[in-house]
Amino acid sequence: MPITPAVDLDGLLLLLPHELMGLAIIVGMLAIAIGRNHFVSTVIATSGMLAAGIAGAMQFYELTLGAAPSMVTALFVLDALSALFIALLAFSAMGVAIMSFAYFHKLADARDEFQLLLSLATLGAITLVSSAHFITVVIGLEMLSMALYGMIAYPIHSGAWAAKSLESAIKYLVLSAVASATMLFGMALIYAATGSLGFLDISVSTGSLFYLGLLMLFVGAAFKLSLVPFHLWTPDVYQGGPLPAVAFLATLGKVAVAVFAIRLFSQPQIGQLPVVTSVIALVAVASILVGNLLALRQTNLKRLLAYSSIAHMGYLLVAMLSISAATAISEVEDSAFALESALFYLLVYSLLSLGAFGCALLVSSSEDEAAGVGDYRGLFWRSPWLASVLLVMVLGLAGIPLTAGFIAKFQVFFAAVGDSQWGLLAAMVLGSAIGLFYYLRIVYQMLMPVLDTDESFALREIGIENLGVLAVLAVLTVAVLWVGVYPEPLFALIAFAASNF
């Protein structure tokens, strides 16, 4: 990979998405200082995200035309992988920003800063996916996490809800800080062993120091991805946090860390270590089984999605393991396919969860979240369109055809079959079957007749502030169905991103 060390004008141009995001944050801050207006801050934040997303997409387009991937100093790498995910993250963040506008619309408190925190977290996420150096990783990760603490604790002055969100914010703060510290220590150990903080050309080292460092790094990442046994915070934080913050945490927060993990893991020197692969295999199986089993008995939708996300991250690990298994027997084609399947899964997962949270958000408001699965009873008859969207998302998470979720699962299965990962496959088959139970429970609740006796089932008026959310959901649904029926264009994009980094 050609290295351009100095930050010249070209370098600045390459970092355009980051700069645009930073600009939006500064402008947003100034705007709040001049006068509070929830709508204006939302517009500033979303236009920043839109601009960053477009800039990322443009970079991706240029790379497909033959531009070489480049480094900006030793800290950032701008290749097809980072460009693709910068665009994806920025656009998803835009969706979350639109959702949070609707969600906090009636909050009797200062509402503008949430958009500011959201922009900050987004900047952290796109920094993380374009990092080539441990320093950048730390900066990106901390920017992401710090902003998330604030986002989770945001409705702190709003009555009964405040205690819950504060509780989950503190839980997340303490555990996340420990995870970050573990990760930092791991980086230090790796540095001590290899003498380098840039991880794209990490030199082979076999000392125990190096292994320990990798292990600690993995533990930190596993915490952020909520993999078993580092998953304990997930259901509580999901349950207590306000919906937009949780949607962000569940999608962008995880995707950004996962992209970093995939980038690190596809370094052959690391992905080939038997220590690493066996630990990851164990964690993958545990995550799939534990996540699905614990989700079975949940009656709270957010907790249910939390456990199911644990299982989904387990599936992602299966795809990652297939990369290394294929590389080990030097099946270049298979390893590329496994990498593509991992990226595809990640992308589809974030679309689906964003959609599911979006639906939950439309049924809720900042004062009263529709948290129980029972709150969705009869949704299909009360509000058929909204229910259809939720149906698509839930069936997608369950991996049923016609949705992108099926194609994603199909690819992971295929990658695992190609690399003879029989144990992992068995876990996936079993996990998906268990998963059907609780996804079907949501579906079934929606199909139940509405109870006339219960007042609380009266459908909330979908006010004008929700129009944006409806648009976001429409886009997501079309995307999920489109990819589910005709995935070829997305395959091409992903294949390019997988080959160009």
Partner 1 sequence: MILLWILLILFFGGLLAWLSEWFDSRLPRWIALFSVAATLIPLVLLYQGYDADSESKWIVEFSRSWIPSLGIKFTLAVDGLSLLLVGLTSFLGLISIGAAWEEMRERVGFFYFNLLWTLAGVVGVFTAIDLFLFFFFWEVMLIPMYFIIAIWGHENKRYAATKFFLFTQFTGMLLLVSLLCLVYFFKIQYGYLSFAYEDLLRTEVDGALEIGLMLGFFIAFATKLPSVPFHSWLPDAHSQAPTAGSVLLAGVLLKTGAYGLIRFTLPFFPEASAQFTPVALALAVISILYCAKVALAQSDIKRLIAYTSVSHMGFVLLGIYAWNLIGLQGAVMTMLAHGLSAAALFSLAGGLQGRLHTRDMRLMGGFWALAPRMAVVALFFSVAALGMPGLGNFVGEFLSLLGVFSVSIWAAALAALGMIVASVYSLWVMQAVFQGAQNSEADHSSLPDLDNRELFIYALMMIGLVVMGLFPNAFLDLSSGVLERLSSASDAFAAVGESR
Q: With CB under 8 A as the contact rule, which of the stretches 80-88, 322-330, 412-420, 465-473 interacts with partner 1?
A: 412-420
Does residue 486 interact with partner 1 by CB under 8 A?
yes
Does residue 328 interact with partner 1 by CB under 8 A?
no
Residue 91 contacts residue 51 (beta carbons within 8 Å): no
Does residue 447 interact with partner 1 by CB under 8 A?
yes
Q: With CB under 8 A as the contact rule, which of the stretches 66-74, 221-229, 314-322, 489-497 interacts with partner 1?
A: 489-497
Q: Report the nearest approach of partner 1 to the CB of residue 64 (Å).
A: 16
Closest among 316, 294, 318, 288 to 307, alpha carbons compared: 294
CB closer to partner 1, 455 vs 488:
488
Does residue 432 interact with partner 1 by CB under 8 A?
yes
Listed in sequence order, the DSSP H helices in 206-331 are 208-224, 233-240, 243-248, 254-265, 268-271, 274-296, 301-328
User: How many residues of this chain bind partner 1 (CB under 8 A)?
Assistant: 27
Nearest-angstrom CA–CA distance, 314 and 434:
14
Position among 109, 491, 496, 500 found at the interface with partner 1 (CB under 8 A): 491
Position among 89, 115, 487, 501 found at the interface with partner 1 (CB under 8 A): 487
Residue 318 contacts residue 392 (beta carbons within 8 Å): no
Tokens of 154: 């945001």
Residue 462 contacts residue 362 (beta carbons within 8 Å): yes
Q: With CB under 8 A as the contact rule, which of the stretches 102-110, 160-168, 277-285, 402-410 interacts with partner 1?
A: 402-410
**Residue keyed to tokens 């349950």:** 239
Does residue 26 interact with partner 1 by CB under 8 A?
no
Does residue 381 interact with partner 1 by CB under 8 A?
yes
Does residue 436 interact with partner 1 by CB under 8 A?
yes
Q: With CB under 8 A as the contact rule, which of the stretches 20-28, 143-151, 250-258, 434-442 interacts with partner 1?
A: 434-442
Does residue 418 interact with partner 1 by CB under 8 A?
yes
Q: Spell out a b/e string for 247-284, using b for 16 or more CB atoms within 10 Å of the CB, else e.
A: bbbbbbbbbbbbbbbbbbbbeeebbebeebbebbbebb
Nearest-angstrom CA–CA distance, 202 and 226:
26
Does residue 396 interact with partner 1 by CB under 8 A?
no
Nearest-angstrom CA–CA distance, 327 and 305:
33
Q: Report the nearest approach of partner 1 to the CB of residue 343 (Å).
A: 14
Helix/strand/coil for 6 = coil
Does residue 417 interact with partner 1 by CB under 8 A?
yes
Site of interaction with partner 1 (CB under 8 A)? 381, 395, 400-402, 406, 410, 413-414, 417-418, 425, 429, 432-433, 436-437, 440, 443-444, 447, 486-488, 491-492, 495
